Amino acid sequence: MFSRRNRRPLAPGLSAAWEALDAGDVPGALRRLRAAGEDQPLGEVARVVARAAGSAGFDDLADASAALAAAPEDPRALYGFGYACVERGVPYLAVPALREALRRSDGALPVLRELVSAYEDEGRHREAATALARHDSRLQDWPDRYLLVFNAVLAGDLGLARRHHAPLSDPEDARWQPARERQNRMLARAADAERAGPLDLADLRGWQYVMGGTVLGTLSPYGFDAGMNGRYAWLQDTEGQCLRGLLRLRALLTATGVRPASVSLLPDRDSRILGLAAAEVLGLPAEPFAPGRADTVVVAYDLDGVAAHDGGPELIGELFERTAGQVLHAHACCWTDPPAVIPDSVALLHQSVVAPWGEQLRQGADGGVERGPADDRPEAEIAAGITGADPSGDLGDGTGPADGDAEFTAFATAVGGTWLRGDRARVRSAGPVPSSRFA
């Protein structure tokens, strides 16, 4: 590690990161490294990262950083640093080092693949696809051309994706076959979504369907011109919004001809409340979730809440593989950190949400803001409040596209032929539709 006393002068863009380390603030130092940009001298970046990693007890990253600080032009040191950064969850630090390693190694495929991994973790799919396409003549079908197609789709470039998908051979290694099948389904969904809507870089519903097969029930009516594009940031949910999501679920089932026989209740309180309301809205009996039950709607308020419940990880694993006729509906999904399985239907996308019966913020007696108590009434009583709520929704600020029942039903009808296919593999990327993020 490098101490304040014996370090050499740092580039101006890195001084704030070093000052954060002097104050014992490792996360703050990493944030300042991101803010400094990718044009900083790699050897000096490595010196800062070495000290941060040492303070955090990440010996692998500390060693790789020290090696790069000692030899900032060595391709092996550049690659080792980049690899360690990806493994430790700071891919933005890996990108410039791996780009330089790729240049100095004459395009070595292992380096290229690691660079693509860093780009993917950062959601920089256009750059990943461009890097792969630049080395087109040397790519192997698996994994390289597969990754090119995957990143082209997530960048919103279906033309590029289809050109490279068409000649892609079947994988010789059976471990790649599920990925091949997922990619086939992704492009089939894209064909349906193109018929259903514009599938441009503002078509959130269309791209959610392409990426994971999720039909998005509602769009946020706020902030389209401020970069939200249909997603919520922080949301205090309402009973009316819950009912609107369930009505969209009912419209989706009707439009696609799916006829479930029951609603399956997941074990966490939030999901049981919403599931009881769903049973009333859909006119179906409610029963506790059982693995392998066919022809049922499994209802979650938020799948992260399901995962946090006792036995949640095992339950989530049971939802990964689809059972015949089973529909997984989630009311709310976090788009910045997607759940471990992707639902077939989701009412809304958020960065942070508080359930209507949760500890919502309110104005206190002194005029300030305080957190109110959670609603501890029986689940059935709260569910009755949902089914009796006003589902008309907020008109918002008028900047977004039309999101009425007619538009939603037209989309659901158009994608019915490719809905409910394959597994529910997690898609970490937000895809080609950007949204503003909040710390």
What is the structure's pLDDT at 360? 87
What is the per-residue pLDDT across 43-99, written as a single tens digit (0 to 9) for each? Answer: 999 999 999 999 999 999 999 999 999 999 999 999 999 999 999 999 999 999 999
What is the per-residue pLDDT across 84-122, written as a single tens digit (0 to 9) for each? Answer: 999 999 999 999 999 999 999 999 999 999 999 999 999
Residues 362 and 291 in one domain: yes
Distance CA 331, CA 347 (A): 5
Residues 153 and 237 in one domain: no
In a domain, 156, yes or no: yes
- The total number of structural domains in the chain stands at 2
Does position 204 have pLDDT exceeding 60, yes or no?
yes
Q: State residue 29 phi and psi, 5-degree precision.
A: -65, -40
In a domain, 423, yes or no: no
CATH number for 164: 1.25.40.10
What is the structure's pLDDT at 5? 39
Residue 111, domain extent:
12-174
Residues 108 and 224 in one domain: no
In a domain, 362, yes or no: yes
Does position 190 have pLDDT exceeding 60, yes or no?
yes
Residues 170 and 225 in one domain: no
For residues 370 and 223, the model is more confident at: 223
What is the per-residue pLDDT across 254-265, written as a single tens digit (0 to 9) for each? Answer: 999 999 999 999
Instruction: With cut-offs at 50, 70 and 90, classify the pLDDT of residue 6.
Output: very low
Instruction: With cut-offs at 50, 70 and 90, classify the pLDDT of residue 320.
Output: very high
Residues 127 and 219 in one domain: no
In a domain, 56, yes or no: yes
In the predicted model, what is the mean pLDDT of residues 298-322?
Answer: 95
Does position 249 have pLDDT exceeding 50, yes or no?
yes
Residues 162 and 206 in one domain: no
Residues 386 and 261 in one domain: yes
What is the structure's pLDDT at 369? 77
Does position 1 have pLDDT exceeding 70, yes or no?
no
Does position 375 have pLDDT exceeding 60, yes or no?
yes
Residues 251 and 397 in one domain: yes
What is the structure's pLDDT at 439? 62
Range of lowest pLDDT (124-138, 165-179, 228-242, 366-380) = 366-380
Residues 143 and 205 in one domain: no
In a domain, 438, yes or no: no
CATH number for 218: 3.40.50.2020
Residues 329 and 377 in one domain: yes
In a domain, 54, yes or no: yes
Residues 135 and 219 in one domain: no
What is the structure's pLDDT at 224? 87
What is the structure's pLDDT at 299? 98
In a domain, 33, yes or no: yes
Percent of the chain with pLDDT over 70: 97
In a domain, 183, yes or no: no
What is the structure's pLDDT at 409? 97
Does position 296 have pLDDT exceeding 70, yes or no?
yes
Instruction: With cut-offs at 50, 70 and 90, classify the pLDDT of residue 9.
Output: low
Does position 20 have pLDDT exceeding 90, yes or no?
yes
Residues 205 and 168 in one domain: no
